[in-house]
Amino acid sequence: MQERDSGNYRRRGCCVKLAKVVGTVVLSQCIEPFRGQILHLTQDLDEHLEPMGGAEVCATWAALREGDAVIVEVAREACNAFAPPLPVDAAIVGKVDEIHLG
């Protein structure tokens, strides 16, 4: 079951959000699970595709560019986007190619 919450979709305790990449995070020193990991800063988008809220650090498996629209999984399920799982609570799980508003 899904319910809409200002641009986000919640299902069974997790949340999938539409966001925009606003930057990249580079780690010079980190714990082992994050060595070589790609991290991006994202900002949530509302139902009108306008930025809302502050920036959030998200782990990802893809090299993305600033301005790319993405799907972000937050909450405990975010760690399952990686094998082996990473200790994260926000992960980019997809790049959005097109958005059609009705």
Q: For the structural domain made of 2-95, what CATH number should be given?
A: 2.40.50.220
| Residue 14: band (very low, low, confident or very high) from pLDDT cuts 50, 70, 90 | low
Predicted pLDDT at 36: 85
Please give the share of the chain, as a percent, with pLDDT higher than 70: 86
pTM score, two decimals? 0.79
Residue tagged 């959000």 (tokens) = 17
Q: What is the pLDDT of residues 33-76, one digit of tens each?
A: 888 888 999 999 998 999 999 999 999 988 899 999 999 998 87
Residue spans per domain, the chain: 2-95
- 11-30 burial, b at 16+ Cβ within 10 Å, e below that, comes to eeeebbbbbbbeeeeeeeee
| Residue 11: band (very low, low, confident or very high) from pLDDT cuts 50, 70, 90 | very low
